[in-house]
Amino acid sequence: MRSIVYWHPFTYKIIMRLIYGKYYIPFYEKIANEIGNMEVLDICCGDCYITKFLHGNKYLGYEIIPTFVKQAKKRGLSVELVDIKKQSFPETECILISRALYQLYPTHEGIILKALNSAKKKLIIAESAINLASSGNPIVSSIAKRSTNPGVHSSTKRFNPDELRELYEKFGAKKIEFLGRDLIGVFEK
């Protein structure tokens, strides 16, 4: 069953703003700066908030939640209803996987390989490394894990900083840096 976070892009954005606090906007500014003026394929694009920071970029979003796709299309965005575990990726200058890798577990490494093979210039993976779902408090952890079920392919796996750094290094990240709760890996061709 889909959790409240994924009921609608509006609830998603409010909850994300609360969770990420003062790093909410700087996160998107950082990612947009990494993308520059390249065309971008946004994997698990959610509410497509990154588009507010992109200026003139050719943008395509892939999302598995129909409500999110419908709302993005109402905003005039190019977003497709796609199960990325089954879909090939078009060759694109830049591919972005933002705060979605945990949802792809245990197939995340295959998705990363597919993205690396399709990214002509750059792959950016930004994943939360400090999670409420990993809290030492079992009540907080349990609530957080149940609150992030998109209704399909749900996973309770959360990556810690060491796991993410090891994963990024395994796939050859050129840059790895923390911003707030997120560990960002940049893979360049």
List the CATH number of the domain containing 48.
Answer: 3.40.50.150
Dihedral of the alpha carbons of 148, 89, 81, 10, in degrees to the nearest 10: 50
What is the residue range of 101's domain? Answer: 4-137+147-179
In a domain, 105, yes or no: yes
In a domain, 186, yes or no: no
In a domain, 189, yes or no: no
In angstroms, how far is CA 47 from the centroid of its own chain?
11
Strand partners, 96: 42, 124
Task: Kindly state the greatest CA–CA separation across the chain.
Answer: 45
CB 5 within 8 A of CB 153: no
CB 67 within 8 A of CB 150: no
The letter for the amino acid at 62 is Y
In a domain, 184, yes or no: no
What is the pLDDT of the chain when averaged over all its residues?
89
pLDDT, tens only, 152-186: 666 668 899 999 999 999 999 999 999 999 999 99
pLDDT at 1: 65
In a domain, 132, yes or no: yes
Residue 135 binned pLDDT confidence (cut-offs 50, 70, 90): low
Confidence check: pLDDT of 125 > 90:
yes
In a domain, 142, yes or no: no
pLDDT at 171: 98
Instruction: Say which range, 42-46, 72-76, 110-114, 154-158, has the weakest mean pLDDT.
Output: 154-158
Phi then psi dihedrals of residue 7, to 5 deg: -65, -40
In a domain, 102, yes or no: yes
Based on the structure, what is the number of domains in the chain? 1
CB 40 within 8 A of CB 57: yes
In a domain, 187, yes or no: no
Residue 18 binned pLDDT confidence (cut-offs 50, 70, 90): confident
User: How many Cβ atoms sit within 10 Å of the Cβ of residue 140?
Assistant: 13
